[in-house]
């Protein structure tokens, strides 16, 4: 393992959790919830999680371990030793999807992280020769003599694909080159690249050995899609939750840059949705921005969180507005909502609220001509029918936002 290197993030915020004026988190217990005005009486297990999360927040704030340090190490590994992961949480994903995860950890530092529940490593480990594993996987699944059935390759579900450690080292560029080379050798390959990313324009324009990410995307057009990942919330709250993420306008610039090159970039992951922010004004402003950028499809993903993480997120929200913090807990901690859980036991907002919220989103986005894609887990949990939201919608998107017409 090589010596750790520091880097300057392409985007950073004036404010983060460490410099919030007068921010002083407390222990969330039954007395705290009552003072806040929460009427729900949570189960003891829920209270235990909220207490534990409060302690983690207080300790992390004191020790400055809540967001990752801009440090990374590179390693090389045997491509045969990397475990092939299938991105299929429900067993019912629309097409077989292989994960591409070249980094342990993530430099964006999302406080709601779906992978770590907000517990970030302080030093990232980037696999310098990960492209050799990608080449091996492509050869096995979609190369000459393989089954060559429809496969998506998801770059990247467990870390940000185009964060500084993957760009500065050329790891991301080499991974994309593996796809370029694969299609040159196998023009009839049924492999397709699915990118979900919080990247801004600076990330996609970054050049390594004279080529930018956008240059490589252009060589893959018709074989890939770029899905921006964005959230409905005020900028001040986003700054706290995504300390090194690109601002919303920079993500929209990234979408525009892709579209200018003929790259499919017209679907968005709208996540995480904080239900207290689903006001009419926020919905209209946010989706107007997506519509103006050429987004025609979106997958809404409500915040899912373990109770430890909810304690952290709730107190961040309460820094701006205590009534919103109260609403967040009411939306999640009802005892009859305890079984509304996604992978790794993360809790989703109450089912009735989730259905009502999806309907509210659709009431406005239908006016804009935007379609909605919903994953199987959400369909099953909320009992959503194909009459309500088709498995493959009118724009050809399904599940996570996969574009079926790419095949």
β-sheet bridge partners, residue 99 = 154
Query: What mean pLDDT value characterizes the chain?
Result: 94
Measure the CA–CA gap between 201 and 212, rounded to whole angstroms. 11
pLDDT for 37: 97
User: Domains of the chain, with CATH numbers?
Assistant: 17-66+304-340 (no CATH), 76-303+349-406 (3.20.20.70)
Q: Could you tell me what percent of the chain has a pLDDT over 90? A: 85
Distance (Å) of CA 290 to CA 142, 162, 231, 297, 369: 34, 21, 11, 9, 12
Q: Residue 120: which pLDDT band, with cuts at 50, 70 and 90?
A: confident
Tell me which of 129 and 87 has the higher pLDDT. Answer: 129
Closest Cα to residue 181, out of 127, 213, 135? 135
Other CB atoms within 10 A of residue 115 CB: 15
Measure the CA–CA gap between 199 and 11, rounded to whole angstroms. 10
pLDDT at 89 over 60: no
Closest Cα to residue 138, out of 82, 195, 98? 98
Considering only CA atoms, give the Rg of the chain.
21
Measure the CA–CA gap between 285 and 327, rounded to whole angstroms. 22
Closest Cα to residue 33, out of 43, 20, 18, 24? 43
13-17, 83-87, 379-383, 393-397: which range is least confident on average? 13-17
pLDDT at 90 over 60: no
Q: What is the mean pLDDT of residues 38-64?
A: 96
pLDDT at 12 over 60: yes
The vertex-149 CA angle with 148 and 152, nearest 5°, equals: 105
Measure the CA–CA gap between 269 and 197, rounded to whole angstroms. 9
The vertex-391 CA angle with 387 and 393, nearest 5°, equals: 85
Q: How many CA atoms lie within 13 A of 184 on its CB side?
A: 8
What are the pLDDT digits (tens) for 259-309?
999 999 999 999 999 999 999 999 999 999 999 999 999 999 999 999 999
């Amino acid at each position: 393992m090589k010596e750790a290197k520091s880097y300057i993030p392409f985007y950073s915020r004036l404010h983060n959790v460490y410099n919030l004026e007068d921010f002083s988190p407390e222990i969330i217990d039954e007395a705290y919830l009552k003072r806040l005005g929460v009427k729900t009486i949570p189960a003891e297990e829920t209270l235990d999680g909220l207490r534990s999360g409060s302690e983690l927040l207080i300790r992390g704030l004191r020790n400055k371990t809540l967001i990752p340090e801009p440090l990374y190490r590179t390693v090389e590994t045997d491509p045969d030793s990397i475990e092939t992961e299938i991105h299929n949480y429900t067993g019912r994903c629309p097409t077989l999807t292989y994960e591409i995860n070249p980094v342990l950890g993530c430099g964006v530092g999302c406080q709601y992280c779906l992978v770590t529940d907000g517990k970030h490593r302080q030093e990232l480990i980037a696999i310098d020769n990960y492209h050799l594993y990608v080449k091996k996987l492509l050869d096995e699944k979609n190369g000459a003599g393989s089954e060559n059935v429809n496969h998506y390759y998801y770059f990247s579900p467990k870390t940000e694909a185009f964060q500084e450690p993957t760009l500065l080292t050329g790891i991301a560029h080499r991974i994309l080159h593996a796809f370029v080379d694969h299609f040159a050798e196998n023009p009839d390959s049924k492999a397709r690249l699915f990118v979900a990313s919080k990247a801004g324009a600076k990330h996609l324009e970054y050049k390594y050995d004279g080529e930018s990410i956008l240059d490589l995307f252009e060589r893959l057009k018709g074989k890939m899609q770029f899905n921006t990942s964005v959230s409905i919330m005020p900028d001040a709250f986003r700054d706290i939750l995504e300390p090194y993420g690109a601002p919303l306008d920079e993500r929209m610039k990234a979408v525009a840059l892709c579209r200018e090159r003929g790259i499919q970039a017209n679907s968005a992951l709208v996540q995480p949705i904080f239900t207290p922010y689903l006001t009419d004004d926020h919905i209209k402003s946010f989706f107007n921005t997506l519509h103006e950028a050429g987004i025609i499809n979106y997958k809404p993903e409500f915040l899912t969180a373990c109770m430890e993480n909810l304690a952290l997120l709730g107190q961040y929200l309460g820094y701006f507005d205590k009534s919103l913090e109260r609403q967040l807990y009411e939306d999640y901690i009802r005892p009859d909502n305890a079984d509304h859980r996604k992978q790794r036991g993360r809790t989703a907002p109450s089912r009735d609220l989730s259905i009502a919220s999806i309907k509210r989103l659709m009431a406005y986005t239908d006016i804009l001509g935007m379609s909605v894609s919903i994953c199987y887990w959400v369909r099953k949990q909320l009992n959503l029918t194909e009459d309500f939201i088709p498995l493959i919608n009118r724009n050809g998107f399904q599940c996570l936002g996969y574009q079926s017409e790419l095949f």
